[in-house]
Amino acid sequence: MALSRTFRVLSLPVLAFGLQVAHAAELPVRPSASEVIKTSKPSDWRPTDPANTLYLDLPTGRVVIELAPDFAPQNIANIKTLVKEHYFDGLSINRSQENYVAQWGDPNGETDKPKSLGTAKAKVTGEFTVPMSNDKHFVQQKDADGYAPQIGHSNGFPVGRDPQARTTWLTHCYSAVGVARGNETDSGSGVELYAVTGHAPRQLDRNITVVGRVLSGMPLLTTLPRGSETLGFYGANEARMPIVSVRLEADVPEAERSHYEVMRSEAPIYQQVLEAQRNRGGPWSKFAANYLELCNAMLPVRERGKL
Site for its own copies in 181-210 (CB under 8 A): 181-185, 187-189, 191-192, 194, 198-208
- Residues of this chain, 157-176, that bind its own copies according to CB under 8 A: 173-175
Is residue 152 a contact point for its own copies (CB under 8 A)?
no
> Shortest distance, CB of residue 113 to its own copies, whole angstroms?
11
> Shortest distance, CB of residue 102 to its own copies, whole angstroms?
11
Is residue 218 a contact point for its own copies (CB under 8 A)?
yes
Q: Which stretch binds its own copies (CB under 8 A): 43-51, 246-254, 263-271, 278-286?
A: 278-286
Nearer to its own copies, 144 or 250 (CB): 144
- Residues of this chain, 1-20, that bind its own copies according to CB under 8 A: 1-2, 4-14, 16, 20
> Shortest distance, CB of residue 129 to its own copies, whole angstroms?
9
Q: Give how many residues touch its own copies by CB under 8 A.
A: 86
Is residue 291 a contact point for its own copies (CB under 8 A)?
yes
Terminal-residue alpha carbon distance, the chain: 11
In the shown chain, the binding pattern of residues 18 to 57 toward its own copies, with x for contact by CB under 8 A and - for none, equals --xx-x----------------------------------
Among 31, 77, 89, 147, binds its own copies (CB under 8 A): 147
- Residues of this chain, 258-277, that bind its own copies according to CB under 8 A: 277
- Residues of this chain, 67-96, that bind its own copies according to CB under 8 A: 95
> Shortest distance, CB of residue 182 to its own copies, whole angstroms?
4
Contact 30, 223 (CB under 8 A): no
Nearer to its own copies, 145 or 266 (CB): 145
| Cα 224 to chain centroid, rounded | 17
Nearer to its own copies, 97 or 155 (CB): 97
